Chains A and B, each alone.
Chain A
Amino acid sequence: MEFFLQNVVNALQWGSFYALIALGYSMVYGVLLLFNFAHGDIFMVGAYVGFFVATGLLLLVSSLGLVSMPGWVVLVLVILVAMFITAFVGVAVERIGYRPLRQAPRASAAITGLMIGIIFETGNLALLGARRLSFPELIETTTYTIGGVTVTNKRIMIVAVSLLLMFALHQFVQRTKWGMAMRAMAYDFAVVPLMGVPLNSIAALTFGLGSALAAAAGILFGVAYPVLSPYMGIVVGWKAFVAAILGGRGSILGAALAGFLLGFIEIFVATIFPSTLRDLIAFSIILLILVFRPHGFFGEAHTSRLRL
């Protein structure tokens, strides 16, 4: 039982990263019928932006001789600022990479996405060199043992921040007029301009939101595993993409749930089988689910888009 609960705790943290990243894939797909294959690399960019914001902030605090800020205040600031900055990276990716291709065949957009990802990876390598950066320790680790289950404060923080962000996104999409426009675009893209809604602004907003969430995931990842590398987004990004498919393309709830589910499957497979077989078995399970539910948990069968 303790063993089981311990793994649940681990899976929740692992699933948080997948869920936050999967949301970005799913939102963009829902609104623009496009998979942004650069999204995993935006997660990486977010982690690096977080690294520089954190380093800068710590430097600023110490050089100004300010009363030292508590670590969690710095962390919250880092998350917010990096989310904001990375949102603009996402907006730029949409503006420069995808918008000119909106009428082009979908393969063009997919190739562009992969290309943008490579540009981010190699650009990072060119600018910062091959050295790996280590994410600054913003909060000290405290370990709690509850009934034989070990939980760190970081782990609780990661899961809590992820859930909070998902809740905030849900509220935004359900309650604001921008969220309403996003939902309308997911349903019938062509009619949205007839409502006086600027399509391009909503497309940019969707990319911005998805990228901000990926940045949050990047920083939380950096807190848990403090080594950053230019290629850190590739595997995590592809796995989150699978989670987005599993959740049902375009479904926010589905992406979040499937992200966590993927975390659970991976962690539990690894406790039973040798860890080298983890991905093989985990993704076989997902393939099996998709055989029975080809549109994922909450996906809809209609994907063709009506013209006006």
Chain B
Amino acid sequence: MLLSVKNLRVSYDKIRALHGFDFHVNEGEIVCIIGANGAGKSTTLRAISQLVPVEQGSTIEFMGENLFKYTADKVVSQLGISHVPEGRRIFGNLTVMENLKLATFSRKDSDGIHRDMARVFEIFPRLDERKQQKAGTMSGGEQQMLAVGRAFMSGRRIMLLDEPSMGLAPLLMQGMFDALRQINEEGTAILLVEQNARMALKFAQRGYVLETGNLVLEGKSSDLMGNPEVKKAYLGG
């Protein structure tokens, strides 16, 4: 088991966002967490990335190690957990190349960095064309490519993706998921959080359904897609 989360509880200002969420991700797997706005999906990813404090009794283990021993930057640089945040959040004042280079800040393997950089440009040729451009001047779809490319450069054991389909036209969305599939096939596990349940379940092998901070269903994507409750609530009947 790559990532194992038990009894995850997180509160913001005394309001509990997660009420003891249990889930896991196996090596090389694609797992999705679906749910409505405010269900606690993003909070789950933030807790893994050590961006929000968790409550006593929560455990997160990564490759058998207690994740809470690591600070946010070490989670990325030492454990290889990369995080593509909601809304892309690329550094608009830096060039595309600088955004990618910044993601390698703590890496020492210059050969590996070169190889990965070349791979990013293969997966997203558009980024290669825009290398010297300020990232803020790119289109939303291109910025999403950069956000994923940046994550690819920073850590590769698992990629946490927060709503990568948000604001993308259907064709671009398909291209993005194809690229993510490629990245996964090269050995990076993926934990995907999505409001677009249909897209997410088609893409992932397993899924978890969150409702206002509680786990309500889990299982194989195919089973979830066939589940009448999921159909009704998330797949539009």
Give residues in A with beta carbon < 8 Å to B: 177, 180-181, 183-184, 186-188, 190-191, 193-199, 306, 308
Contact = CB atoms under 8 A, between A and B. Distances in A.
B160 to A, nearest CB: 9
A196 B74 CA distance: 6
A44 B208 CA distance: 60
A187 B93 CA distance: 7
A196 B101 contact: no
A265 B103 CA distance: 44
A197 B73 contact: yes
7 contacts: A183-B94, A187-B91, A194-B51, A195-B154, A196-B74, A198-B73, A306-B89
Contacts of A191: 85, 89, 91
B85 A194 contact: yes
B155 A196 contact: yes
Nearest to B104: A196
Nearest to B98: A180
Given A187-B92, A187-B94, A308-B46, A194 B101 contact: no
A193 B72 contact: yes
B93 A196 contact: no
Nearest 7 A/B pairs, CB to CB:
A196-B77, A193-B72, A196-B76, A196-B106, A197-B105, A191-B89, A184-B91
Main secondary structure of the interface of B (DSSP, over half): loop
Interface string B49-62: 11100000000000
A195 B102 contact: yes
Name A's interface SS.
helix
Contacts of A199: 72-73
A181 B83 contact: no
Interface string B75-110: 011000011010001011110001001111111000
Nearest to A306: B89
B35 to A, nearest CB: 19
A196 B51 contact: no
A254 B174 CA distance: 44
Contacts of A195: 73, 76, 102-103, 105, 150, 154
Contacts of A194: 49, 51, 72, 76, 82-83, 85, 154
Nearest to A191: B89
B197 to A, nearest CB: 23
B71 interface: yes
Contacts of B101: 177, 180
A181 B82 contact: no
Contacts of B104: 196
A308 B47 CA distance: 11
Q: Which of B76, B98, B101, B102 has the most CB of A within 10 A?
A: B102
Contacts of A183: 91, 93-94
Contacts of B46: 308
Given A184-B91, A188-B89, A308-B89, A196 B49 contact: no
Given A194-B85, A196-B155, A199-B73, A188 B102 contact: no
Contacts of A188: 89, 91
B155 A193 contact: no
A196 to B, nearest CB: 4
A308 B71 CA distance: 16
Nearest to B150: A195
B106 to A, nearest CB: 4
Contacts of B103: 195-196
A184 B51 CA distance: 17
Interface in B23-78: 46, 49-51, 71-74, 76-77
Interface in B182-233: none
Contacts of B105: 177, 181, 195-197
Interface string B113-153: 00000000000000000000000000000000000001000
A186 B72 CA distance: 18
B93 A186 contact: yes
A56 B106 CA distance: 39
